[in-house]
Structure formats: structure tokens, C-alpha cells
Amino acid sequence: MKNILCFGDSNTWGYDVTTFDPALGSGQRMTFDVRWPGRVQNILGSDYRIIEDALNARTVMNQDPYFPHRLGIASLEVALDAHAPLDLVIIKLGVNELKHMFNLTAGMIAFGVEKLVMAAKNRYYNYPEPQILVIAPHPVSPNIYNNLFGFSFGPLAYEKSCEFGALYKDLATRHGCGFIDCADLNFSLNTLDGLHYSHEDHAKLADVVAEKVREMLEH
């Protein structure tokens, strides 16, 4: 059986913004069969085990004071240890670093993702290092700052997110990782916030990820 860790944020967790409750300040999670890691599990079947490790508001390298315990670099090191041995680690992060309070360039965000890749290449308990698949998040909506969670994102969030594809591809190539650019999939995104993926977006991503996993682990 091939063990695959899916390490990401709310768009890996399966946040469904259509269920957002203003009284709670949050929404519900899509079911396993709807969110992309679950769909990948169903496509690949019992020869593969998808391990989900995703959190809403998870960052790469920067601590969010409003959402503690969401620091990606710290969480990844725990996950790698807890779920060893792993055949493949899928890393899909970066959008939450677009928040205005971090004031980061797209290049700095990508450099943080590169640090995650380097951490994932560490060996645990003398097992071979896992292969790594880097997924560049889909660009956010051009008018995200006018939408539901727009108070967190400045007017430059869209432009920065459009740089993710080229930057992530470069780091993936340099480290011998697989790569997927969500921008190539033309997601619709949810119009409520211009940030979270729709059910259809999850289905699109799952099909591409499943194909890529087979390419990386069966050849």
C-alpha cells in the first residue's frame, strides 16, 4: 500500500463557504467524498492510503496571531514523524500568506514552501525519503478584498497569487518534485469569497492529482 500525506490549508480541509454562519464566524466541512483528498482516495482505490493533514488558516512559515497552532513548518515535521513511512507528500499551501498583515512578496511565500519541501525530504526511522508533489494554489479572485474575508487580504493579493505558478514550478524543478498548477485548471472559485474552491473545483483537482500520483508512484 502506498501512503500519501496531503498537507494543506482550508482548500485541502474542504472548507465549504456556502455554509458560512455569521453568528459562528465559520462554515462547515465538505464530506470526504466531495473534498479533493477524499476523491483522490476513491479514484485510486485500496492500494493507496490518503492521509489528510489540513487546517483552515494554515500558513507556511508565518505565525498568524488570530489563528494559533496553524504554522505549517512546525506541523509538517510532526506529520512526517507521525505518519512514517510515507511514499508521497503533497504540499499545497501559500494563500494564507497573502494576508495583508504579513506583507510578503510572492517570492518570499514560495521560499517558505521550498523550506517545507526540504523538511519533507528528511528521512525518518531510516525509511527512504518520500517523493514530493508541490501544488501551486489557484489565484484568488481579483476583487477578493471586497468579498467575505476581504478584510484580511489587501488589494495586491490577486497579483501576488498569479505569481505562484511560475515560482512553485521553479522550486519543484530544482528539488526534483512533481508539480501541478491549479491555475491551469480554471477553477470557478466560490463567488462569496473568491478564495475557497467549489465542489466542481475539488473534482477537477482530484482528477489531476490522481493521475499525477499514478505517474509518480507507478513508473
**Could you tell me the CA-to-CA distances from 143 to 56, 77, 196, 212 in Å, in that order?**
21, 35, 14, 32
Grid cell of 63 as nine digits: 505565525
Check if the beta carbon of residue 135 is closer than 8 Å to that of residue 188: no
Check if the beta carbon of residue 89 is closer than 8 Å to that of residue 72: no
Q: Give all domains of the chain, ordered by start, each with its CATH number.
A: 2-217 (3.40.50.1110)
What is the Cα–Cα distance from 179 to 137, expressed in whole angstroms? 11
**Phi, psi at residue 89, to the nearest 5°?**
-115, 125
- How many residues can be counted in the chain? 219
* Mean pLDDT of all residues in 97-121: 96
* Mean pLDDT of all residues in 179-192: 93
Predicted confidence (pLDDT) per residue in 26-75, tens digit: 899 999 999 999 999 999 999 999 999 999 999 999 999 999 899 999 99
